[in-house]
Amino acid sequence: MAAAETNFKELLEAMPDPVVIVEDGQIVLANREAEKKFGYSHDALLGQPIEVLLPERFRTVHVGHRQGYERNPHTRPMGIGLELFARRRDGTEFPVEISLSPSESDGHKLVISIIRDISDRKRLEREKDELLATVTHVLDGMTEPVFVVNPQGDVTRANDAAARMIGRPREEILGRPAREVFHWEDAGGRLLDDDEYLYHETFGSVEPLSVSGRYLRRLDGERIPVVISSAPVTDPEQGIRMAVQVVRDVTREREAEELKDRIISLVSHELRTPIGHIKGFASSLLEEDVTWDAETQHDFIVEIDHEADRLATLVADLLDMSKIESGKDFLEIAHHSPLAIVESALRAAERFTREHEVKVDVDPALPDVPADASQLERVICNLVENAAKYTEPNTEIRVQARRGGDAVEFSVSDHGPGIPLEYRDRIFERFFRIKTGNGGRKPGTGLGLPICRGIVEAHGGKLWYESNGGGGSVFRFTIPL
């Protein structure tokens, strides 16, 4: 059998991992690799209890385990689910994986243990965990929603911003088909079909893709304009492709664009029209070969005066708007009687309201309000001017003031067409004008209502729209006492 033993020893030496063979808890054979790994000189392990290879804290327990194994020997990995450690001669430790197999030879009951040093694997795992934690951290710190879709179309990762954008907790997103999680729509509000979801194209592409003009419909019904970029990513190990999608909420850009359009339309209309008229009348008056009678000359000059006023109003509105938006305190507060303010506002609005019936309903016993009188007059004058501008002649405009809790509540109501539901918030946006209906043809800047609201809010009050029972509008605002 000497040849067989030699063969066995050679085989042992050829093993890349440390191998020790144990009988009754004592090491009877160890390969060079084991000696090297554990820091022992040649044959120094022979005759030692196997426990010398264990950290001291595990030794007692190990004796029990070992005896259990000897009663029921079979091939198995050791300490399933536990982190195992081995001890070098100098007392240092390293993580290991051990597999045990029993072997009978000439009546000797042997246990062969193959001990694999898994320090490298552990380190890699740790590094991977750290990397993953960092990536998750970075993703969650991003303000832009990011999510990952696998080739089956399921969402495998989503950052905090993505969950916030959709309005669902992350647990409800992960592992679900992207199509159920994200409701993309086109500009017209149509839900996109499965094949329009960008990730399909992404899997077939090498370059990142990007689409705009899409909308996300949130769970709460809100529609957000977005630009989606989608990049294909290949996992070098598994070759699995995934699509990393970054969603950018472009609401602000949209608003800025809309605002720009409105300003352009304002400048092209509200600025050009009066200038054109002024130029036209002035040129006519200057024509040398025509003589205008005194009445016509007067009419022309009235028109010029009128158009110049229009321009002056526009410029004043623009300046006021920027003053209000600067957030600086522009009010000069003193105590004023509500009735006096209403009367003064109506005098200023008189030239607009000649064809209307204006009714005043102000309780003379109201306390004085702390306010900037000229600004408050401006608010009322503006609301009354609108009430006259957007309603038929000979209809009634009513200006009221009454006590409402800790405030005085003013209102201007009319019997005009009212404001359609969809515009009731938007009329308070800068430069917003309703283009449909007769009102669309009236001159205006779309700055009146935002300025009014700005002034009222600077006083600590609120201004809002209500529809007027049988038709028409009510603009109501409060000035706290």
Contact residues: ligand ADP, CB under 6 A = 386-387, 390, 414, 416-417, 419, 427, 433-434, 439, 444-449, 473
Cα 30 to Cα 41: distance, rounded to the nearest angstrom: 11
- As measured in angstroms, the least distance from the Cβ of 427 to ligand ADP is 4
The helix (run of H) or strand (run of E) holding residue 199 is helix 198-203
- As measured in angstroms, the least distance from the Cβ of 219 to ligand ADP is 32
- As measured in angstroms, the least distance from the Cβ of 256 to ligand ADP is 19
- As measured in angstroms, the least distance from the Cβ of 217 to ligand ADP is 28
- As measured in angstroms, the least distance from the Cβ of 393 to ligand ADP is 14
Angle of helix 294-325 versus helix 272-286 axis, rounded to 10: 150
Sheet holding 223-234, edge to edge: 155-158, 146-149, 241-249, 223-234, 209-217, 184-185
Q: Which is nearer to ligand ADP, 33 or 270 (CB)?
A: 270
Cα 345 to Cα 455: distance, rounded to the nearest angstrom: 15
- Cβ pair 168, 162 in contact under 8 A: no
Cα 219 to Cα 237: distance, rounded to the nearest angstrom: 37
Q: Which is nearer to ligand ADP, 401 or 434 (CB)?
A: 434
Q: Which is nearer to ligand ADP, 30 or 419 (CB)?
A: 419
- Cβ pair 420, 434 in contact under 8 A: yes
- As measured in angstroms, the least distance from the Cβ of 254 to ligand ADP is 20
Residue 469 zone, left/alpha/beta (φ > 0; ψ -120 to 50; rest): left
- Paired tokens of 50: 């196997």
% helix, strand, coil for the chain, step of 5: 45, 25, 30
- As measured in angstroms, the least distance from the Cβ of 391 to ligand ADP is 6
- As measured in angstroms, the least distance from the Cβ of 280 to ligand ADP is 23
Cα 314 to Cα 64: distance, rounded to the nearest angstrom: 95
Q: Which is nearer to ligand ADP, 54 or 379 (CB)?
A: 379
> Position 352: which residue type?
F
Q: Which is nearer to ligand ADP, 38 or 428 (CB)?
A: 428
Q: Which is nearer to ligand ADP, 84 or 449 (CB)?
A: 449
- Paired tokens of 371: 């306010």
Q: Which is nearer to ligand ADP, 246 or 381 (CB)?
A: 381
Q: Which is nearer to ligand ADP, 235 or 422 (CB)?
A: 422
List of residues 6+ apart from 158 with CB closer than 8 A = 145, 146, 147, 148, 170, 173, 174
Q: Which is nearer to ligand ADP, 370 or 417 (CB)?
A: 417
Cα radius of gyration rounded to whole Å, the chain: 42
List of residues 6+ apart from 88 with CB closer than 8 A = 37, 38, 39, 94
- As measured in angstroms, the least distance from the Cβ of 397 to ligand ADP is 9
